[in-house]
Structure 1
Amino acid sequence: MTDASADVPGGELRLLARIPSASNAAFLGAIGETRVIYKPSAGERPLWDFPDGDLAQRERAAYLVSEALGWRIVPPTVVRDGPLGEGMVQLWRDPAEVPRAVELVAPIAAAGTGRRRVFDVIGDPDFPVAIAHEDSPALRRIAVFDVIVNNADRKGGHILEMADGHRHGVDHGLTFHIDDKLRTVLWGWAGDELADAELDGVSRVRAALSAELGTALAELLSPYELEMLDLRCELLLAEARFPAPTGSWHVVPWPLI
């Protein structure tokens, strides 16, 4: 398991701009010539189901799980001090100019080649809209990762589409809850079997939980959260397929994109 501190440099963190679209305080910053995103813990707004002011630790934990998977989903992430106190610091990634991984499109275009139609959006009957996402191995890996970390906030805008086809996932503060909180726009594979490479990734995480990964996560998550993380991995391996939405609770985030 790699250590993000080797990629996120030390030194003075300078604030360059506030990111106004973020629900909590988030800033574009720089450490030397390296651009980063900085989310101070003091700028977190408590939620009824995530009330403890520990979103930075959950972001770091999500990075560690991503590294255990070996899929480089989460950019290098650390928890360190900054101008507004301790918080999450993550390497900045510049995505491609036109996002297409998750889109609101006409229903007739939602199920085209290379895309998965998730659901229709209720609105003006004269202008039907559906949400769809690409059907790619890179995006499937993010969907698997989200199940493992119990991501409660996988919006389309939390997927960074790199020019080389890689897909990064970001904004993982709402993860690792002990209850089922999976809220995502990536339901297009619901019920589909997991590929062997995806199952291998889940197995790597589960094995690492009894070694270095478990030790590192114990400093970031509660024992019960670690127990439920292991259980989610166990269930994924046993069922060997993507879960489907269940129950009456919200299964998509808002806004969708």
Structure 2
Amino acid sequence: MNADDTTEGRPAPADFDGIDPAEGVDLLRKGDLTVRGRLTVASNTTLYCTVSDGDRSAACVYKPVTGERPLWDFPDGTLAGREVSAYAVSEALGWSVVPPTVHRVGPYGEGMVQLWVHGDTTVDLVELSRRTDHRGLRRMAVLDAVINNSDRKIGHLLPTPGGHLYGCDHGVSFAEEYKLRTVLWQWQGQTLTEEALQALSRLGSRLRDADDPLSVELARHLTGPEAYAVRARVDLLVHHGIHPYPAPDWPSVPWPPV
């Protein structure tokens, strides 16, 4: 462990209405979705829902594909599929950076459904985004490098009372071309932690196996070149052993950053 990797929390049922994260995936897949309202600040249709199977119930977010606006730089696939892919990569790394997320049919057709994170509203997100001593934040920076996240804003950070940190809104990730755009550049050029290098090496091995469940899941939602680019980014991270730098010809921070 590096000296600046001291802050850590673990996923907990309290983050998701008392639902264990592993159980949450099953609930999201099989439970009945009831729309309670719409998050109007989102640029694409984002619905606040409850998901219940009679015995268990939890709040969640549902983003139907029918509510997605076309993007010129993401002409293939769906934003929902990329959100699910981000969760799959997060779980493969073993870090649970992304809340439990599934792809399923809801009241308005297929889309992504993600457990609602009950975050710690006392945390100053701007100050959090600047920290260098937060293990979860640094893990998030590595995940973003792998999935080529082009929209990591401060408002996408979801710290919980127990100390674990989640991130949301990964729909504009996985582009084939390098488009990393984030507020988390404080480690650029620094050596990756041993933990990160080991996790990335394991991830790379799984991505090179076309029959691995992770590869199969990504193939459902990404184009062939996009899936190849994920493997290439992982290999580059392991080979160079450092956090990436911003692209010289691409905005390095999303706008607005919050």
Alignment TM-score, normalising by the size of structure 1: 0.85
Q: Which amino acid aligns with 1:213?
A: L
Q: Could you say which structure has the greater relative contact order, defined with CA pairs below 8 angstroms and 6 or more residues apart?
A: 2
**Greater helix percent: which structure?**
2
Where do residues 92-111 of structure 1 align in structure 2 (5 Å cutoff)? 92-103=116-127
Change (3 A) 1:79 1:3: farther
Deviation (angstroms), 1:132: 3.0
**1:46-99 deviations in Å (ceiling 9; x for gaps):** 111013460111111111000100001111111111111111100111110123
Change (3 A) 1:239 1:221: same
Which blocks of at least 5 consecutive residues in structure 2 are unaligned?
Answer: 1-21
Number of corresponding residues: 230
2:4 is aligned to none
Where do residues 39-118 of structure 1 align in structure 2 (5 Å cutoff)? 39-52=63-76, 54-103=78-127
How far apart, CA to CA, are the structure 2 residues paired with 1:100 and 1:193?
27
Change (3 A) 1:26 1:246: same
Which blocks of at least 5 consecutive residues in structure 1 are unaligned?
Answer: 104-114, 116-130
* 2:222 is equivalent to residue 221 of structure 1: yes
Structure 1 or 2, whichever has the larger Rg, is: 1
Deviation (angstroms), 1:171: 0.6
Change (3 A) 1:5 1:12: same
Cα RMSD (Å) of the superposition? 1.8
2:202 is aligned to 204
Deviation (angstroms), 1:255: 1.2
Q: Which amino acid aligns with 2:251?
A: H
Deviation (angstroms), 1:13: 0.8
Instruction: Select the residue among 138, 147, 150 that pairs with 2:148.
Output: 150
Change (3 A) 1:225 1:244: same
C-alpha contact (below 8 Å) 1:41/1:53 kept by paired residues: no
C-alpha contact (below 8 Å) 1:151/1:172 kept by paired residues: yes
| SS of residue matched to 2:106 | coil
2:33 is aligned to 13
